[in-house]
Amino acid sequence: MNDKKVNILVVDDQPAKLLSYEVMLKDLDENLIKANSANEALEQLLKNDVAVVLIDVCMPDLDGFELASMIRDHPRFERTALIFVSAIHMTDLDRVRGYECGAVDYVPVPVVPALLQAKVRVFIELYRKSRELEQLNNQLENRVLERTAELERINADLEQRVEERTRERQAAFAQIHEMQKMESLGKLTGGVAHDFNNLLMAVLTNLHLLRKRLATDPKLTRLIDGAIEGAERGATLTKRMLAFARRQELKPETVNTSDLVEGMTEMLRRSLGPSIEIDTEFRANLAPVSVDPNQLELALLNLALNARDAMPLGGKITVSARPETVAADNGRGVDAGHYVCLAVVDTGTGMDETTLKRATEPFFTTKGVGKGTGLGLSMVHGFTAQSGGAMEIRSQLGCGTTVELWLPTASHGAAEAPVAGSAPATMGGRSYRVLIVDDDALIAEGTAAIVEDLGHTPVQVLSGLSALDVLRVDADIDIVVTDHAMPTMTGTELARQIRQLRPDLPIILATGYAELPNGEDPGLPRLGKPYKPEELAACIEAQMKAKDKSASNVVPIDKARRA
């Protein structure tokens, strides 16, 4: 059974012969196409796909040999089976000529029907097999093409993934590089700020004393006031640098953000001027956060001033707060837990990509020399990180800026540090013997001068060991004021040893920054350097008062037993 009938073309100028072929080939059950002349045969060949052509050699217009040559010349019919049918031209020479013209066989006349059928069948079979092979070949080629396309797709996909991975790695490297840069900058800034703080401490202490002694001459006091103001501005700068380096002295408290913002709105309105509208949007029932309220106010003020600078023609600042819960691996660099997200949004100029990238770098400013220190955002960034939170900035040129401060809620359990010098500076008129410990002679000397000026008696030493020596022989020392960062023995270590020697002796730790390693807070009252004479006075007074109070609460053991 044939799937599809194939075409057999019979070419003969005699219709009777054409008819006889038709009868002879009927049993093959294929399509028979008849042509009366060579021209008609060519026409049929061009129109149909023909498996076998039977050609009569003797035809009037074009003989069989010529027709065969013409057929063979056409590339489409190179392999079509041509069979000559002839009563004459049957010599071997004729046959050779026929084969040369492209015939595949030669059938003599009178034609034996069975022979013709057998021959034609063979070539039809061959034709079918060739077609099948062609089809298989095409299928194979298609599959190869599909496979190639698939491989190309996989390859392109792979290349894209390699590119993505490379980009990711480059981004990760850039991030690490940026973190290392900020880390080094932090260390450098912190170190420089610490040293400057000590110098400013000495400058300010001496200036304050000088001012007091020369109070009678207004011209001189004006000059000294100018110097004090300059030194105080320097101290503000070092404070910002320490904040950026995450080494400022923080006094975290439980703070209600909406109350804090509410409390400073009026001050903000005044500082920003009438062209800037301030709006607040606070979610109800926000949890309190654990943060140093003064530093948070300073941070918000910095953000508001930045917003004002970005809105020279006026605009709107919206301060909002919402609760947020953060999971582990959050990509924000904060611990998992509950936070309050405090956002400051402005309608200002916004930042381009480069500015946004560098905005938190210390000393980066676009505001020109003398106008901006470039420490505002660095300080806010350092402060939030040191408070266990994070800062995020989103900005686009022409679309305003959003700065978010993520602050841990008070349930995070941040310890509240004791607040030093918070008691009012009430001079009780009492005079104390104050032991001053500082490895920097300039500072020890300045502090001694203030202490003396306050009406107390200073005893100054340059190390913890010397302080212990003094305490062993001088029982009249009432209070100790010590630096923390000292070689050989730190202020904390000294305090520990003093506690063994004299458990009730008040000790004040004077530090310029948060230099105590984690978990090493000895719970001592602290005084931030550089401090003013009245701050030291208030702190001494508060500690002595606290000591008196605790002494009056102590009931001698035998008295207690009798009661």
Ligand X SMILES: Nc1ncnc2c1ncn2[C@@H]1O[C@H](COP(=O)(O)OP(=O)(O)OP(=O)(O)O)[C@@H](O)[C@H]1O
**Binding positions for Mg ion, rule: CB under 5 A:** 306, 376
Rounded Cα–Cα distance for residues 431 and 476 (Å): 12
Q: Which does 351 bind (CB under 5 to 8 A by kind): Mg ion, ligand X, none?
A: ligand X
Task: Please give the residue whose beta carbon sits closest to ligand X in the complex.
Answer: 376
Does the footprint of ligand X cover residue 463 (CB under 6 A)?
Answer: no
CB of 372 to Mg ion, least distance (A): 6
CB of 276 to ligand X, least distance (A): 12
CB of 197 to Mg ion, least distance (A): 21
Structure tokens at 256: 């209600």
CB of 401 to ligand X, least distance (A): 4
Task: Please give the residue whose beta carbon sits closest to Mg ion in the complex.
Answer: 376
Q: Which does 482 bind (CB under 5 to 8 A by kind): ligand X, Mg ion, none?
A: none
Pairing of strands 315-326, 289-291: unpaired
Does the footprint of ligand X cover residue 491 (CB under 6 A)?
Answer: no
Q: Which is nearer to ligand X, 330 or 355 (CB)?
A: 355
Does the footprint of ligand X cover residue 306 (CB under 6 A)?
Answer: yes
Does the footprint of ligand X cover residue 307 (CB under 6 A)?
Answer: yes
CB of 295 to ligand X, least distance (A): 15
Q: Which is nearer to Mg ion, 38 or 377 (CB)?
A: 377
Structure tokens at 473: 């022989």
Query: Which of 540, 408, 443 has its CA nearest to residue 201?
Result: 443
Q: Which is nearer to ligand X, 34 or 239 (CB)?
A: 239
Rounded Cα–Cα distance for residues 422 and 447 (Å): 19
Structure tokens at 70: 């013409």
Q: Which does 359 bind (CB under 5 to 8 A by kind): ligand X, Mg ion, none?
A: ligand X
Pairing of strands 50-56, 31-35: unpaired
Does the footprint of ligand X cover residue 359 (CB under 6 A)?
Answer: yes
Q: In angstroms, what CA-CA distances link 487 with 197, 469, 484, 494, 514?
A: 18, 17, 9, 12, 17
Element holding 344 (H helix, E strand): strand 337-346
Q: Which is nearer to Mg ion, 245 or 298 (CB)?
A: 298
Q: Which does 221 bind (CB under 5 to 8 A by kind): Mg ion, ligand X, none?
A: none
Q: Which is nearer to ligand X, 102 or 376 (CB)?
A: 376
Does the footprint of ligand X cover residue 401 (CB under 6 A)?
Answer: yes
Q: Which does 105 bind (CB under 5 to 8 A by kind): ligand X, Mg ion, none?
A: none
Q: Are 21 and 8 in contact (CB under 8 A)?
A: no
CB of 156 to ligand X, least distance (A): 41
Q: Which is nearer to Mg ion, 232 or 309 (CB)?
A: 309
Rg (CA), the chain: 51
Does the footprint of ligand X cover residue 310 (CB under 6 A)?
Answer: yes
Chosen residue from 20, 36, 221, 355 binding ligand X by CB under 6 A: 355
Q: Which does 511 bind (CB under 5 to 8 A by kind): Mg ion, ligand X, none?
A: none
Query: Which of 234, 390, 240 has its CA nearest to residue 302?
Result: 240
- How many residues bind ligand X, per CB under 6 A? 23
3-state secondary structure 477-491: CCEEEEECCCCCCCH
CB of 377 to Mg ion, least distance (A): 6
Q: Are 446 and 461 in contact (CB under 8 A)?
A: no
Rounded Cα–Cα distance for residues 480 and 381 (Å): 35
Does the footprint of ligand X cover residue 402 (CB under 6 A)?
Answer: no
Q: Which is nearer to Mg ion, 376 or 491 (CB)?
A: 376
461: burial class by Cβ within 10 Å (0-12, 13-18, 19+)?
A: buried
Q: Which does 99 bind (CB under 5 to 8 A by kind): ligand X, Mg ion, none?
A: none
Chosen residue from 105, 346, 404, 483 binding ligand X by CB under 6 A: 346
CB of 555 to Mg ion, least distance (A): 56
Q: E strands of 69-157, at which residues?
A: 81-86, 105-108
* Residue 506, Ramachandran bin (φ over 0: left; ψ between -120 and 50: alpha; else beta): beta
Q: E strands of 48-132, at which residues?
A: 50-56, 81-86, 105-108
Chosen residue from 348, 382, 421, 528 binding ligand X by CB under 6 A: 348
Rounded Cα–Cα distance for residues 245 and 383 (Å): 9
Query: Which of 397, 398, 400 has its CA nearest to residue 344?
Result: 400
360-389 positions binding ligand X, by CB under 6 A: 364-367, 372-378
Segment lying near ligand X (by CB under 6 A), choices 115-123, 278-286, 341-349, 480-488:
341-349
Does the footprint of ligand X cover residue 252 (CB under 6 A)?
Answer: no
Q: E strands of 430-521, at which residues?
A: 433-437, 457-461, 479-483, 507-511
Interface with ligand X (CB under 6 A) = 302, 306-307, 310, 346, 348-351, 355, 359, 364-367, 372-378, 401
